[in-house]
Amino acid sequence: MANSSGGVYGRPRKPNGDDEGGSTPPERPRDGGRTSGRASVSGSRPGSARGSSRSGSSRPGEGRGGNGGSARPAAGGTGGTYGQPKRKIKPRWGRIALVLVGLAVIIGLLTGVGLWIYAANLNGKLNKTDPFSAIVGDRPLKTVDGAMNILLVGSDSRDPDTDMSQASAWRADTIVVVHVSADHQHVYLVSIPRDLYVFIPKTPGAQYGDTYAKINAAFAWGGLPMAVQTVENYSGVRIDHVVSIDFGGLKEVVDALGGVDMYVDRTIKSIHKPFRTFEKGNRHFNGAEALDYVRQRKQFPDGDFARMRHQQALLKAMLDKATSAGVMANPGKLNDFLQTLTKAVTVDKDFALTDMVLQFRSMSSDKLTFLTSPNLGSAMRDGESVVLSDKTKALALYDAMSKDTMDAYVKANATSSPSAS
């Protein structure tokens, strides 16, 4: 439908008096306002609108250059909707930290549970015994809290020199009292000669006892209970833990460590097959070689005392290797060592191998001091060659052990400490 001013839906009428093709385009308003009527809509060209800074009537969407239009923002703007500044998103560090802490706690709990299960499994594999329950009579009192005394008994069930046909022939090959200082910073290992002539008390069920004999007979007559009671009776030191080692099983332990390094103090040839020759000097030993070497005694002028030194050297070398970075930092090697060790030892029921490993993981051999129980050398008793105790000096040593004053004792008796190398 048309109207008088020019129809939107039809062609505009010609003005009266105008020629047929001479229509004049409407004049564009100068004041920025609208033209009258609807013709302004059809007459405007797309994109012809200029910036309407002078116009207050432009609506959003009318033209590209208006302040309220939907055109792209001017250069340098913040790019917000309708020209509003864009809000920066700040990271929520508190929430992130809380999540990280939560993850750390979960991982720590899982690790702790895993280690606890591993430790329980490892301790469960140990051969356990109760050597203290069979001890009768009074025992020495514990005088220093934190200090620890461990009786280390080594037997060699596979020693070629042992005559297993005799009931009492399988005796303790090694007897060591290990004293750990209360601060757990130093360890003193006192080797007791296996032929030391002492009084051996009788324990319930034992066939022999209440007599003087070589100290290693106590193990043969009454096992660990009699060995503990004999050492406590002789030294006056209360024993807290007992570890019995089958030296035959040390072969596998040494191999699990990858071998050990020891110093050979003189060239000797083994008297056991395959008759190895051990040249003087530093040497790397595998398990079979190490065990063979520490069994030798007849080729040395001081016999059993030489074997005692070599056993000390082996213990030192094993500790060096076990606490080295190559083992402690290698979970596979550490596990092999611990698993093999459980097969070679028997311990008292309160002994926890993993607790000992954790307590002494940073212990190095320079914190070990090796001593020999003071003695007067060999003598004959009842037709046997025995070693006599130096009672005065022995009393001083074991008194220092009981009072945890071993450091002062060692400084005062430096020459009494034999070399373990």
Residues 245-275: tens digit of each pLDDT:
887 788 899 999 999 999 999 999 999 889 9
Residue with tokens 């309407």: 52
Q: How many CA atoms lie within 13 A of 317 on its CB side?
A: 29
Strand 197-200 to 375-381 pairing: unpaired
The per-residue pLDDT for 325 is: 74
Q: How far apart are CA 321 and CA 155, in angstroms?
A: 22
Partnered with residue 154 across adjacent β-strands are 174, 245
**pLDDT confidence bin for 84, thresholds 50/70/90:** low
What are the percentages of helix, strand and coil residues in the chain, rounded to 5? Answer: 35, 20, 45
The DSSP-derived string for 38-92 is SHHHHHPPTT-PPP-TT-S---TTS-SSSTTSSSPPPTT----GGGPPPPPPPP-
Between 184 and 66, residue with greater pLDDT: 184
Q: How far apart are CA 399 and CA 393, in angstroms?
A: 10
Highest mean predicted confidence (pLDDT) among 14-23, 64-73, 231-240, 355-364: 231-240
Q: How many CA atoms lie within 13 A of 198 on its CB side?
A: 27
| 57 within 8 A of 79, measured Cβ to Cβ | no
Q: Give the containing element (helix H, strand E) for 313.
A: helix 304-322
**In angstroms, what is the C-alpha Rg of the chain?**
47
Lowest mean pLDDT among 159-163, 237-241, 312-316, 354-358: 159-163
| 217 within 8 A of 203, measured Cβ to Cβ | no
Partnered with residue 187 across adjacent β-strands are 180, 368
Q: How far apart are CA 363 and CA 115, in angstroms?
A: 21
Token pair belonging to 408? 């002062």
Lowest mean pLDDT among 89-103, 166-180, 183-197, 232-246: 89-103
Length of the chain, please? Answer: 421
Please give the average per-residue pLDDT across 371-398, as a whole number: 94
Q: How many CB atoms lie within 10 A of CB 148?
A: 19
Token pair belonging to 421? 């190398």
Token pair belonging to 275? 């008759």
